[in-house]
Structure 1
Amino acid sequence: MIIVTGATGALNGATVDHLLDRVPASEVVVAVRDTAKAERFAQRGVGVRRGDYADPGSLPDAFAGADQLLLVSSNDPGADAVSLHRAAVDAAVAAGVKRILYTSHQAAAGGNPFAPGRTHFATEQLLAASGVAWTSLRNGFYAHSLQWLAGPWRETGVIAVPGDGPVSWTAREDAAEAAALILTSPVAHDGPVTLTADAAPTFEELAAVASELSGRAVRYQPMDEKDWVAAQLAAGQPEHMTGFLLGFYQAARQGFFAGVDPLLGELLGRRPRTAREAL
């Protein structure tokens, strides 16, 4: 049995859709915080259980009988994500789960200035210490994030950012499909596996692409960090979110998102979607 958490979200919801193309619905269970939101899966014959990382008592029953358990990473900005992930891993061990898979990120590292990278790294350490077979799906930076990380270039004609570096912009849809392929693969993928697009363009390079796509000049403009922060705050961006996003640009400049890996394309049997397509 395959149990998937976070299936009412975009990433793991799409993974379940792909799983249902490959295995009978009777072999799939979703564990979600709000079971009413998983009705579309129930209508297809998928088992629906309540499981909430913030309610550890709900997890052992939610995870019971799993041969494989796909844990989505917490995206609650006000929560201690590592503690939530620890509760999920502990419950998986207690439930006798045979393999834990976790939606991580290619930039999982203790020294990453982008906070989620540190969370993913800490969670991978929990998995490694669990005694259970595990797989960490180190997805590339999701390309749909360009909607806000590249700024309002369509209106201004400028991509103005406080830090630039190669980023392997990866389609969330491709990562979701790859997760389903790994879950149903006869080949064990042990430990961290990297799933990225096959190129890592910089914002300066994306400005040239945006110019071509839009038919007008779009230029790249590097900004001083203090000036960028001041502009964000003046535009009404909350201080905590401004600091969070600044960590991304700092990590990009330091090369945390630069790596690319052929595995995603090999799993999909085609070239992964590109940053150009996202733009």
Structure 2
Amino acid sequence: MSIAVTAATGQLGRLVIDALLDRVPAGQIVAVARNADKAASFAAKGVEVKIASYDDPASLQGAFSAGDTVLLISSTEFGKRTTQHRNVIEAAKAAGVARLVYTSVLGGFLTGGFKLAEEQHKPTEQAIHASGLTYTLLRNGWYTENYTDQIPVQLEHGLVGTAGEGRIGSASRADLAAAAAVVLTSSGHDNKAYELSGDSAWTFSEYAAELSRQTGRQVAYNDVPLEILTEIYVTAGLPREPAEAFAESHLAIRRGLFAGGSGELRRLIGRPTICLADSISAALAGRVRE
């Protein structure tokens, strides 16, 4: 029986495998990836690599084995996610896996939801329930890196959104990967859903103030109407559908759906989560090294 991690060469997948290597022997881990060259570093560490694509059901048939625990990391492809995820679920069920763990999204299922939850993640959760598989749902909050990766743009143009003073309980990818590794390697998580967020939620105004403090440059947050934010995303290069969904998620932030506060991430990883100030500091240090 192995622990199989899909989308293993992605930003989250790599961190999950690193966290797993701290907890179990490499020979118990399977990295499922589309590209063998990108996965070569896993093989060098003794991790088994299997080549499969969410878009290719035939390739997925050989990705899993009976008794495996499988981590289904959500696809990033709008308009294709539900079909892709169902391909993985069906392959996992056919293989007779012991448990399927899925990276869903925080805040959208009990309070009316928003597009990213209702259209991109809820159908997958429903398919998992319908499959009859034992499952664990990791409803991840926003990655802090969604924002800190944009620091060069923020320093030049400030922050823009339509979230008002809504709070974001973001968490680093490293913390969420650590939580996934705990769930994948321990018992007591069957048929549970975890709402995972950072210990301290923040507003865009607070983010701008912290970035200003650390850089000595004045960074402002500008709140704009939804339609303008959507067009900003489109102008920046996002296709229309994800641009509309990401802009609309700001309204969910305004409504408090991304504030988190369950404390479940902290309890899973057994330590405080990485705070916003430290995430900004790390991102700035990375820019200096570059």
Same fold (TM over 0.5): yes
Instruction: After TM superposition, give the deviation of residue 170 of structure 1 in Å.
Output: 0.8
Residue equivalent to 2:105 = 105
Write the mapping of 1:1-279 to structure 2, written as runs, cut at 5 A.
Answer: 1-77=2-78, 79-109=79-109, 111-116=112-117, 118-147=119-148, 152-156=153-157, 158-164=158-164, 165-232=166-233, 238-279=239-280
Distance change in 2, residues 1:148/1:11 (3 Å): closer
Instruction: After TM superposition, give the deviation of residue 257 of structure 1 in Å.
Output: 0.7
Distance change in 2, residues 1:204/1:44 (3 Å): same
Instruction: After TM superposition, give the deviation of residue 197 of structure 1 in Å.
Output: 0.4
CA distance in 2, matches of 1:101, 1:87: 15
Distance change in 2, residues 1:201/1:61 (3 Å): same
Moved more, 93-102 or 265-274: 265-274
Q: Is the 8 A contact 2:69 2:184 kept in 1?
A: yes
Distance change in 2, residues 1:19/1:236 (3 Å): closer
CA distance in 2, matches of 1:86, 1:240: 21
Q: Is the 8 A contact 2:138 2:196 kept in 1?
A: yes
CA distance in 1, matches of 2:213, 2:68: 48
Instruction: After TM superposition, give the deviation of residue 142 of structure 1 in Å.
Output: 0.4
Which residue type is aligned with residue 266 of structure 2?
G
Instruction: After TM superposition, give the deviation of residue 251 of structure 1 in Å.
Output: 1.9
Q: Is the 8 A contact 1:108 1:138 kept in 2?
A: no
Instruction: After TM superposition, give the deviation of residue 35 of structure 1 in Å.
Output: 2.3
Which residue type is aligned with residue 92 of structure 2?
A
Distance change in 2, residues 1:238/1:52 (3 Å): closer
CA distance in 2, matches of 1:136, 1:67: 16
CA distance in 1, matches of 2:277, 2:114: 26
Moved more, 223-232 or 268-277: 223-232
Distance change in 2, residues 1:209/1:58 (3 Å): same
Instruction: After TM superposition, give the deviation of residue 236 of structure 1 in Å.
Output: 6.0
- Specify every segment of 5 or more residues in structure 1 that has no aligned partner in the other structure, as ranges: none
Q: Is the 8 A contact 1:197 1:272 kept in 2?
A: yes
CA distance in 1, matches of 2:87, 2:39: 22
Q: Is the 8 A contact 1:51 1:59 kept in 2?
A: yes
Distance change in 2, residues 1:11/1:232 (3 Å): closer
Instruction: After TM superposition, give the deviation of residue 5 of structure 1 in Å.
Output: 0.7
CA distance in 1, matches of 2:262, 2:38: 35
CA distance in 2, matches of 1:235, 1:74: 21
* TM-score normalized with structure 2 length: 0.86
**SS where residue 61 of structure 2 aligns?**
helix
Instruction: After TM superposition, give the deviation of residue 24 of structure 1 in Å.
Output: 1.2
Instruction: After TM superposition, give the deviation of residue 8 of structure 1 in Å.
Output: 0.8
Distance change in 2, residues 1:242/1:4 (3 Å): closer
CA-atom RMSD in angstroms: 2.3
Q: Is the 8 A contact 1:168 1:200 kept in 2?
A: yes
Distance change in 2, residues 1:115/1:186 (3 Å): closer
- Report the identity percentage: 36
CA distance in 1, matches of 2:87, 2:239: 30
CA distance in 1, matches of 2:232, 2:76: 26
Instruction: After TM superposition, give the deviation of residue 202 of structure 1 in Å.
Output: 1.3
Distance change in 2, residues 1:135/1:58 (3 Å): same
Which residue type is aligned with residue 167 of structure 1?
I
Instruction: After TM superposition, give the deviation of residue 248 of structure 1 in Å.
Output: 2.1
- Specify every segment of 5 or more residues in structure 2 that has no aligned partner in the other structure, as ranges: 281-290
Moved more, 30-39 or 116-125: 116-125
